[in-house]
Amino acid sequence: MMLILTTRNDAVKIVAHRPIVWFARRILSGVAVVWAAATFAFLIQCVLPGDRAQIIINVTSGNVGAASSAELAAINAKYGFDQPLAVQYGKYILRILHGDLGESYQQHRPVAGIIAEQIGPTIVLAIAGLLIAWIIAILTTLFIAGRDNIWSKLLNDMQVFLATVPPYWLATILLVVFAVKLRIFPVIGGNSPIGLVLPTLALALELSGFFGQVVQNEFTRVLEQPFVTSARARGMSDFGVRLRHVLRHAALPGITLSGWALGKLLSGAILIEVVFARQGLGGVLVAATSSRDVPIVSGAVLISAGLFAVVSVIVDLTYRVVDPRIKLR
């Protein structure tokens, strides 16, 4: 959140006359974010309680007993744990630069490969969630917001409810009602489009509550602006003004939120995937976390940071398209 807001200010100042400089700076700051995430992941591995060699032996063998010192020394030598911390860190960063995120303790396969196999469905789910959340928020706002009737009030209450309900709870309810009772959607959908419906809804409804509240607040504020009256005085219909003038203004804070939302969606998607038994990063991560398969977890952290940096650039570019004042200021 903080990251998006501060970089946005940078955008306002820098975009002014040199878009290339602005872009270069954004790439650099994105790299810095990923680097910080990598460092963080590394430090976590070091300060985690328990001896790492011991953990690896336990994970591999499935035993919980203490390993002999000979075994430990072998593992320490293999993974380089016996070297000074600075050397370990340097090697770690160097490996990341070569696209090597380490090897899973449990599966003995490269982490990059494991994540690459699983991340596709997760990203699809997260983006679908974002789109649906936007569509729900925009449609309800366009038709209902700022009107003085019972629907407007109900919508508002509904949004607050959705925004506060935990998504896994919502997911369970959706699953029970639409899949088990009504049998409209499959309980386990795999990766088919029809199987995407319920998980997407479970993710999107919560977010649509958030977006809806932000967009609706701005929408009702903008509805009172003089240029709205101006447009109506030209003969534009109420709905025309909402669609062509007000929505654009109201979308701005929502766009700012989208960067944060995609981060939230990725973590939300992981939970939802477990609930719906979907293929994706979720299952892998849950398994890796419970067995303390650290390379997979820190690999996921790195990838998320990278995605987040990319998304925030996209968000800023979108913002510039919707609000041309920024580009020209």
Residues near another protein, by CB under 8 A? 16-17, 148, 225-227, 229-238, 240, 245, 248-249, 322-325, 328
CB of 241 to another protein, least distance (A): 10
Q: In Å, what is the CA distance from 275 to each residue of 125, 129, 195? A: 13, 16, 13
Half-sphere exposure of 284 (CA within 13 A, CB side): 26
Least Cβ distance, residue 225 to another protein (angstroms): 6
Residue number with CB closer to another protein (165 or 236): 236
Residue 12 near residue 22, CB atoms below 8 Å:
no
Collapsing DSSP to helix, strand or coil, 110 comes out as strand
Rounded Cα distance, 4 and 24, in Å = 16
- CB of 308 or CB of 319, closer to another protein: 319
Please report how close the Cβ of residue 149 comes to another protein at its closest, in angstroms: 10
Q: What angle do CA 228, 323, 155 make, to 5 degrees?
A: 55
219, 141 Cβ separation under 8 angstroms: yes
**Residue whose C-alpha is closest to residue 321's, from 247, 252, 250, 262:** 252
Question: What is the DSSP-derived secondary structure letter of residue 106?
Answer: T
User: Least distance to another protein from the beta carbon of 221, Å?
Assistant: 12
CB 64 to another protein: min, Å: 58
Closest Cα to residue 115, out of 296, 329, 287, 266?
A: 296
Query: Toward another protein, which CB reaches closer, 101 or 250?
Result: 250
Q: CB 184 → another protein: shortest distance, Å?
A: 40
> Considering beta carbons, is residue 241 or 269 the nearer one to another protein?
241
CA atoms within 13 Å, Cβ hemisphere of 290: 6
List all residues 6 or more positions away from 185 whose beta carbon is below 8 Å from its beta carbon.
178, 179, 194, 195, 197, 198
Closer to another protein by Cβ: residue 109 or 244: 244
With H, G, I as helix, E, B as strand and everything else as coil, classify residue 104. Answer: coil
Nearer to another protein, 287 or 322 (CB): 322
* Beta-ladder partners of 110: 103
- In angstroms, give the least distance from the CB of 207 to another protein: 25
Closer to another protein by Cβ: residue 183 or 234? 234
